[in-house]
Amino acid sequence: MTHIDISPDSEFGIDNLPYGVFSTAGTDRRVGIRYGDNVVDLAVALDDDVFAEASLNSFMAQGRTRWVEVRDAITDAITGDSVPAHAVHPIDTVTMHMPFDVADYVDFYASEHHASNLGRLFRPDSEPLMPNWKHLPVGYHGRSGTVVVSGTDITRPNGQRKAPDEASPTFGPSTRLDIEAEMGFVVGVPSDAPITPDRFAEHVFGAVIVNDWSARDIQAWEYVPLGPNLGKSFATSISPWVVPLLALEAARVSTPVQDPEPLEYLRETQSWALDIDLTVTWNGYDVARPPYREMYWSPAQMLAHETVNGATSRTGDLFASGTISGPEKHQRGAFIELTWGGREPVSLGDETRTFLEDGDDVVIAASAPGPNGPRIGFGDVRGRIVPA
């Protein structure tokens, strides 16, 4: 047995314990938790074969009571110095993988600031928000098969593009490749019935950082009248660590005032809005700090809307918030907003950018308040653009 030393201000302390899937040289993938700068092999530490699997899905499907039991057991093992030494691996000796098998993927559009900014960009002579926006969480059904783990290179997508001054579309690589800094939520317990906002924590296991890469030129030509398709479906990146909802109680806050009052199926008795701070780094330069607490719709309301029509939810379903933006320019979580449609370039040292160029690196990090001082870290999600 061993004692695991960590910094007292680590974002991966005993109040966090996020789950991921890892491997070491010559070993199979299995489930671990991060504690400080170490990964603890749960199959060894808890002698439980569900953690010897290459995905969190089986464990997530066991439900909230089991999630609490495991969290208590690993907390006791760590604080009691009863973790076997061979279950502990330094973080720099492991390879991280997709933490769960994605069953379905839905992406929402839950930031009033983001939606209003895009409305002003694309419809300058109209109201920035569409009439339905404050009545329901708007979203689109994405492609689960192209959700990838942090560190995966992103290939610039090809598609049809048509500039306003062109008579017909052309085909080729996207020239307006963008990011969307988001938070995503992972369903653990499936349901064949609608999931009300107050049952959110019974079904949702945890949260990840999401970068919903977007080809704005492809998207602009295709999305009327049915919505995003090829402009979004080529890649969505997620962080390797799933922070359990059980670690985020201290981060819960109220949503902004929702006016008009939502319809009854969207009403929460206790809000699941979260105080999460994100940082967007572009080629090593911090360019934006989006605040998740500004989101108009909570994740519980998103899930309630997603399932209210009878759509089933499955273990491994991922739904994301849409771009996170605040009221200030430095809080905009997409480059189309940050550069105001490409008209206001961003300085990156001696260079400027409007949209992503080949070779660019983007890293999105996030953290939330913890219950006892140190913040709860989500790690980060990173990707590098490679040519089409």
| Calpha distance 186→371 (Å, rounded) | 22
Structure tokens belonging to residue 95: 């390879």
Burial class (CB in 10 A: 0-12, 13-18, 19+), 10: middle
- Would you call 114 a catalytic residue per the annotation? yes
123 marked ligand binding residue: yes
CB neighbour list of residue 309: distance below 8 Å, 6 or more residues apart: 194
DSSP letters for 202-234: HHEEEEEEEE--EEHHHHHHH-TTT--SHHHHT
pLDDT value for 193? 97
pLDDT value for 241? 98
pLDDT value for 1? 80
212 marked ligand binding residue: yes
Q: Which residues of the chain have pLDDT under 50?
A: none
Question: Cα-flanking dihedrals φ and ψ of residue 133, to 5°?
Answer: -60, -40
- What value does the CA radius of gyration of the chain take, rounded to a whole number of Å? 21
The residue behind tokens 């911090």 is 286
Q: Across the strands, what pairs with 286?
A: 281
Identified catalytic residue from 86, 89, 114, 305: 114
pTM of the predicted structure, to 2 decimals: 0.98
pLDDT value for 149? 98
List the domains of the chain with CATH numbers.
19-97 (2.30.30.230), 105-386 (3.90.850.10)
5 marked ligand binding residue: no
| Calpha distance 27→230 (Å, rounded) | 36
pLDDT value for 161? 96
pLDDT value for 164? 86
Structure tokens belonging to residue 182: 């988001």
269 marked ligand binding residue: no
> CB–CB of 292/298 below 8 Å?
no
Amino acid letter for position 178: D
264 marked ligand binding residue: no
Structure tokens belonging to residue 229: 């398709």
Per-residue model confidence as pLDDT tens digits over 67-82:
999 999 999 999 999 9
Number of helices (H), then strands (E), belonging to the chain: the values are 9, 26
